[in-house]
Structure 1
């Protein structure tokens, strides 16, 4: 529904924040601080480096993007020195700050900021009020940045972007040579572009090992998480597999609860409960007949909960997880790694499914409190390196059985975390969670692009309203859709909502997952998201925002209303313009089709159904 505003209202209305919908991509006006050029004078090193000597090299990689290399050398092996590296930058046009980690206690500033991603590595960005990058930096060294912290300090008309090296818990080993590389990006691009490029540089080895993005033959994915959470038997879920084809699902992720159906003895000898064996066999065969891929999820893959396992590896575990009443096995022992590898390899040989989801595989151990026990034959001292060895050996063993086996994502998912025991693969049901779910989706997409490991499973309760189902899907649609529900008890309008939005995601995959991705308003936790490619532009609004229609429509524009309210505001680029439009509700049904004739209007309002969208043609 179209609502008109008269010209007298325009002056007051223009005070509202405007996000311009530029259908033809136009480079934003650049900010070049007067008299600012990046050289050695802009870099300060504070702290005593003795007995090390230092040198600095600056290389311009491309326009306004620099690589800083700091070298330290000592005549003899010595303890690493504690020091800081600071880059001074004028703060005139920086209005927001973004950090992939929590701000350190060395940071102090007054401007709005974001620091909830909870990543294992730091990328810091200073940006304008319109989310344009002014400075983004990150670093890497041979210690994987374990002894580096980042900070930002506001001093007068200057912002100091800094790295603190070897200040907290420095390595015990001595060094003679050390190099840290710092990437500094001053390009005037959307901050999402600067962050993603910094992440690709920081995680270059992992990005290079991935030759393709998301495999669209595997998504969308149906998860058994929510039905199993509601104690619905697997045989009941099996009977519903035929119905999944109507939703265009391509694969199934079986929740961690599947292990309670299969009774296994310890080590490499397996006995199954006969009834459960038949249930799992029938489920596995039926999904094969339907051409669906199957993945099994382990939330805590390296626990020794069985008393026999605990006794066999007594003293060879890292710590005890009280809530789970399980020991965490210590991968620094070769016999532990052998046990774990044999367990999974033998189980996989019997079942031959498409892959495992190993939750916490890349970052489960290092953050935990590690117990210091007597050395009973460890061949590694570092837990992280031992875990890398376990991962590599496990991959090698499983790929010798099936070269195409899936072993989970290369990247560790980032937050924000929602609980102390947050799993990599989490799930949500109520609409109250969608804001933090959306935030988590954006952070993973910012850092990893279309290779995002975001997998927040969307559960659908039988009593969910279909509008809520649409809004929940819109909170995950810029990641990989993983949905979980029980079809038998689902109302027809919910089924239609899911079918429509899964089809919308598939049809618009190229723009949603491969197009330019631009979350809006960092300090407000991304209340709007914009994606576009050469043929289409999509905005999704999660909170109130005023949008400006472009001068001419050179590509299709969808504006999705994921708010509770129906009112959407638009500013007209030039009075007298005409726009053809269609309005759809959350079920995908067209409710209105017309031509917007602006005449002397400067602003217009539309009533767009919650969970629905307006399409400008």
Structure 2
């Protein structure tokens, strides 16, 4: 296999290229570095190889390769957003580091087959990747690079096994966990529905208002309550000029410990929001921390602190620890870790004890209390954060079910041990119960966070919440821990399924046929306006079909004849089908 000109150019004339052929994978890799390279190739399983390239001195190392772009439908990346087409190779490289993104990608072909899945072993320091269609050859090009030393070098995993793309990405997550011993036990509470104040109250939170929501939230099936921005200040300007001191507003939360005890008395875990990197210009801290900042954000009216300094880490970790040890919080919602990813950070002063911001962030998070719930958020999805968190939430997408579905599915694919949470669900007071149910179904394979005023919901809306939150709770093992198989990433996952034992749960978001298992229980949650659900069957028999509407009321309960081919069953929008098939 030859290397097309202009694809992997050395950085300068002092650099050299080396090529290594991997017959088992049918692949040729090109290594580029100013240093001499030592190669080690290990075949993990058929079609899956690990490649380690070690330079003889500290230097940038780049590995590049190409595969035929045949039957390709989409390229998946951890920060791919809503665009899943095939990018051109000449686009700007992506950067992944501890505080933003993850070094992984997958070229997907027809039938949801992974044509090539790759991941880097480095999960803290910056890793740059470039991927895309090579116009000159019709191939799909890849390169991965980062600074490497004689100790560890650059470690790469390439999967050409042509399995389902979700299976290959789950293999990446397992690989990261094995490499780094990452992750910690995730309490069941992290996987249960939660209530969030953000969309329901914005910054207008106070103890009485939060307590009014706690009882209804617990009664409907939530097990955690998350208080977002607004608790620490009387400012309601949606900026960050007043953050950083992290003391409860004496007006809104005059006795934070007593308030937390009341909420916990309802049976809810309590999590508190922190914009971790920020110190606002209008705080008493401002003058003290100015020498320890990475950058000032004019539009936020706040600075990003530099975690390379022990003073900064102790300050920030002390604030968060106090919430747990003194106020009785069960957990922390840590926001804006991606803001630490500053281009060209200033040279640290003599008080700094680590050279990189990435390492400073890691040390900061390592100081947080271990026995508490911690929520992170897209786009800080690096597996290097797994030891410090229990859950990760989709980035903000208010009232956008399709985006919430895509983002939670993306997270599920590489979240490893962490529980995946949806962005908060909100709706207009006049929303129909069917559309409320559709929002819940769109995040069926994640943890729903509800963010509406529960005291003003109509009886029908409350019935929808009670029914679907009960379904989330009852089937948590299948939905969140079962074999996960989203379909058609090029179409934003119009169908998603999870299987455990003889139970299969399918989320239907477009009029696509649903495969019915030969035996066992099939649940189909209809998140689409079309009501004619087409089941594909492979064997004759009889099955019991129970259809529930969006509130959990039985619409029909009949036996249906299954013949090889297809069977059509009417399931209302926001409703649920249960199909029981016996051998």
Pairwise TM-score range, normalised by the shorter structure: 0.7 to 0.9
Asked whether 1:439 is paired with 2:402, we answer no
1:135 deviates by 2.9
Counterpart pick for 1:559 among 524, 544, 551: 524
User: Aligned Cα RMSD in Å?
Assistant: 3.7
- Evaluate the alpha carbon distance shift between residue 377 and residue 533 of structure 1 in structure 2; reply closer, same or farther with a 3 A threshold: closer
Counterpart pick for 1:273 among 217, 233, 250: 250
Larger gyration radius, structure 1 or structure 2: 1
Counterpart pick for 2:568 among 562, 582, 605: 605
Counterpart pick for 1:38 among 12, 23, 48: 23
Structure with larger RCO (C-alpha < 8 A, sep 6+): 1
Asked whether 1:54 is paired with 2:37, we answer yes
Q: Per-residue displacement from partner, 1:240-275 (whole Å, max 9, x unpaired)?
A: 433333212222111122223699x99989696267
Counterpart pick for 2:549 among 585, 594, 597: 585
Q: Per-residue displacement from partner, 1:199-241 (whole Å, max 9, x unpaired)?
A: 33245466x3434345247622122223322846541331343
Distance 2:169 2:24 in 1: 22
1:496 deviates by 0.6
- Evaluate the alpha carbon distance shift between residue 490 and residue 429 of structure 1 in structure 2; reply closer, same or farther with a 3 A threshold: farther
Q: Secondary structure at the match of 2:373?
A: coil
Q: Per-residue displacement from partner, 1:473-519 (whole Å, max 9, x unpaired)?
A: 11222111211222221101111100000111111112111111100
**Are the aligned partners of 1:579 and 1:597 in contact in 2 as well (CA < 8 Å)?**
yes
Asked whether 1:149 is paired with 2:129, we answer yes
Partner of 2:578: 615
Distance 1:542 1:266 in 2: 40
Q: Secondary structure at the match of 1:559?
A: strand
Distance 1:504 1:299 in 2: 33
Distance 1:360 1:269 in 2: 15
1:428 deviates by 5.0
- Evaluate the alpha carbon distance shift between residue 95 and residue 386 of structure 1 in structure 2; reply closer, same or farther with a 3 A threshold: closer
Query: What are the within-5 Å matches in structure 2 for residues 254-403 of structure 1?
Result: 254-260=227-233, 273=250, 276-278=253-255, 280-346=256-322, 348-361=324-337, 363-366=338-341, 368-369=342-343, 372=346, 375=349, 377-392=351-366, 394-395=367-368, 398=369
- Evaluate the alpha carbon distance shift between residue 106 and residue 541 of structure 1 in structure 2; reply closer, same or farther with a 3 A threshold: same
Return 5+ residue gaps in structure 1 as ranges: 1-35, 109-117, 416-422
Q: Secondary structure at the match of 1:386?
A: helix
Distance 1:549 1:266 in 2: 53
Distance 2:565 2:249 in 1: 71
Range with bigger deviation, 152-161 or 378-387: 152-161
1:447 deviates by 0.7
Distance 1:495 1:123 in 2: 41
Counterpart pick for 1:165 among 145, 160, 170: 145
Counterpart pick for 2:482 among 515, 529, 544: 515
Q: Secondary structure at the match of 1:277?
A: coil
Range with bigger deviation, 583-592 or 154-163: 154-163
Counterpart pick for 2:53 among 65, 70, 74: 70
Query: What are the within-5 Å matches in structure 2 for residues 412-451 of structure 1?
Result: 413-414=380-381, 429-430=398-399, 433-449=400-416, 451=418
Distance 2:62 2:417 in 1: 37
- Evaluate the alpha carbon distance shift between residue 517 and residue 176 of structure 1 in structure 2; reply closer, same or farther with a 3 A threshold: closer
Partner of 1:113: none
Distance 1:508 1:294 in 2: 24
**Are the aligned partners of 2:199 and 2:426 in contact in 1 as well (CA < 8 Å)?**
yes
Distance 1:163 1:559 in 2: 41
Distance 2:246 2:527 in 1: 51
Partner of 2:102: 121
Q: Per-residue displacement from partner, 1:48-96 (whole Å, max 9, x unpaired)?
A: x45x3333222122333221222322xxx57x3565422x445555554
- Evaluate the alpha carbon distance shift between residue 121 and residue 232 of structure 1 in structure 2; reply closer, same or farther with a 3 A threshold: closer
**Are the aligned partners of 1:444 and 1:452 in contact in 2 as well (CA < 8 Å)?**
no
**Are the aligned partners of 2:39 and 2:52 in contact in 1 as well (CA < 8 Å)?**
yes
- Evaluate the alpha carbon distance shift between residue 158 and residue 198 of structure 1 in structure 2; reply closer, same or farther with a 3 A threshold: farther
Q: Per-residue displacement from partner, 1:336-382 (whole Å, max 9, x unpaired)?
A: 33332333344544312212211134x3302x345537847433332
Query: What are the within-5 Å matches in structure 2 for residues 538-577 of structure 1?
Result: 538-550=505-517, 552=518, 554-573=519-538, 577=541
Distance 1:229 1:98 in 2: 33
- Evaluate the alpha carbon distance shift between residue 150 and residue 144 of structure 1 in structure 2; reply closer, same or farther with a 3 A threshold: farther
Partner of 2:18: none
**Are the aligned partners of 2:308 and 2:352 in contact in 1 as well (CA < 8 Å)?**
yes
Asked whether 1:470 is paired with 2:451, we answer no
1:276 deviates by 3.2
- Evaluate the alpha carbon distance shift between residue 176 and residue 572 of structure 1 in structure 2; reply closer, same or farther with a 3 A threshold: closer
Return 5+ residue gaps in structure 2 as ranges: 1-20, 81-85, 92-98, 237-241, 383-391
1:97 deviates by 3.5
Asked whether 1:253 is paired with 2:226, we answer yes
- Evaluate the alpha carbon distance shift between residue 564 and residue 485 of structure 1 in structure 2; reply closer, same or farther with a 3 A threshold: same
Distance 2:478 2:323 in 1: 40
Q: Secondary structure at the match of 1:314?
A: helix
**Are the aligned partners of 1:428 and 1:459 in contact in 2 as well (CA < 8 Å)?**
no
Distance 2:70 2:268 in 1: 55
Q: Secondary structure at the match of 2:259?
A: helix
1:188 deviates by 4.1
Counterpart pick for 2:468 among 489, 492, 501: 501
Q: Secondary structure at the match of 2:314?
A: helix
Partner of 2:202: 229
**Are the aligned partners of 1:268 and 1:346 in contact in 2 as well (CA < 8 Å)?**
no
**Are the aligned partners of 2:306 and 2:312 in contact in 1 as well (CA < 8 Å)?**
yes
- Evaluate the alpha carbon distance shift between residue 298 and residue 205 of structure 1 in structure 2; reply closer, same or farther with a 3 A threshold: farther
- Evaluate the alpha carbon distance shift between residue 411 and residue 67 of structure 1 in structure 2; reply closer, same or farther with a 3 A threshold: farther
